[in-house]
Amino acid sequence: MSEDTRRRVAFLGPEASYTHQAALDAFKGRDVTLSPQITIADVFTAVQKGTAYRGVVPFENSSNGSVVFTLDLIADLHGMHPDILVCGESYVDVKHCLLGYVAPNAASAGLQTRKLPPVEIDKKFTNPLAVPVCDLSRIKKLYSHPQAWGQCKAFLSTYLKGIERQDVSSTSRAAELVAQDTSGESAALSSFVAAELFGLDVLAESINDRIGNATRFLVIRRKDTASPSSTPPPDITHSTDGNGSDWKTLVTFTVDHANPGALANCLAVFGKYGLNLTSINTRPSGVRNWHYVFFVEFKGRKEDGDEVGYVNQALKELDRVCSEWRWLGSWENRL
């Protein structure tokens, strides 16, 4: 791996995406080159092939749940990214805005506010800032990342009900596309940063349904690069408290669905060793219908050596009660 590659961090782009902001946060103060990718899969591929030293991908949102694209890539059902491990995380506050071009008459007269009565706003929104600053009747098409729609349901159903929606690879890509449509008939769910980058007007700010909306991003590496417990070239700083709550671990496993209690037996292993589960997800296994891969994240850290620490002991016992399992990394808890 060349020195240039060892300092390249791939992220879901283009610039100004929330993943870009997560990458800036995760590698703050580090001498790295941030490399935007078109899709989440492209980030995984860059790290798997070694053209990037690390990757940053969205994992879950506090309002809308897990990013299924990332879960499926982590599960690696098609064997395209077998060496990917998680080595870090970053949290970014998400304040979606509606971006576009203000109508010429509104621009010349100043942004004409079109507010709903306060009582109606209070009924529909937990976020009182989600009010358009101008007439939105010209808008015929909306662009955004699929994850954003579910975070802005109240605003969209109130002000833009029935408007065509187009999924794109990221919220910043949505802003980039809208910037090319000077007719003002399209708009994007994106960020303030994207508005500044692409020269768009903010038609409504903070349109997510809940104040405090946040997304968690994972930092991924290839398993043959330096482990989190060492001190590699640019990476995230990690604590050294072993199996304490300052670390998280992610594993996947499958069970015999015909065996009553199979899932309960697997989950009981973590409780036996005092490992606090922080999230559980499922995705179709791709093996047969109604057969699932379970994703379990818990507090603690896998150590070198099979007999060291509660996490290692739990994984050894998990091996005896599940069909198969994979360790997908341990990293510092930044929550």
Cα separation, 22 vs 145, whole angstroms:
16
The distance of Cα 226 from the centroid of its chain, to the nearest Å, equals 24
pLDDT at residue 244, rounded to an integer: 56
pLDDT at residue 305, rounded to an integer: 66
pTM summary value: 0.79
pLDDT at residue 238, rounded to an integer: 38
pLDDT at residue 226, rounded to an integer: 59
Residue 293 · residue 282 · CB < 8 Å: yes
239: Cβ–Cβ under 8 A, 6 or more apart, which residues? 246, 247, 332
Structure tokens at 80: 């395209």
Residue 128 · residue 206 · CB < 8 Å: no
Cα separation, 67 vs 88, whole angstroms:
17
Structure tokens at 272: 């036996």
Beta strand 65-66 with 84-93 is: unpaired
Please work out, in degrees rounded to the nearest 5, the angle formed at the alpha carbon of residue 169 by the alpha carbons of 173 and 11. 85
User: How crowded is residue 335: how many other Cβ atoms within 10 Å of its Cβ?
Assistant: 8
Return per-residue pLDDT of the chain as tens, 335 residues.
555 667 899 999 888 888 999 999 999 988 899 999 999 999 999 999 999 999 999 999 888 889 999 999 999 988 899 999 999 999 998 889 999 998 765 544 444 434 333 334 434 445 555 778 888 999 999 999 998 998 899 899 989 999 999 999 889 999 999 999 999 999 999 998 899 999 999 999 889 888 788 999 999 999 987 544 333 333 443 333 444 569 999 999 999 988 889 999 999 999 999 999 999 999 998 888 889 999 999 999 998 766 678 999 999 999 999 999 999 999 999 88
DSSP string, 25-73: HHTTTS--EEEEESSHHHHHHHHHHTSSSEEEEEEEETTTEE-HHHHHH
Structure tokens at 89: 């995380």
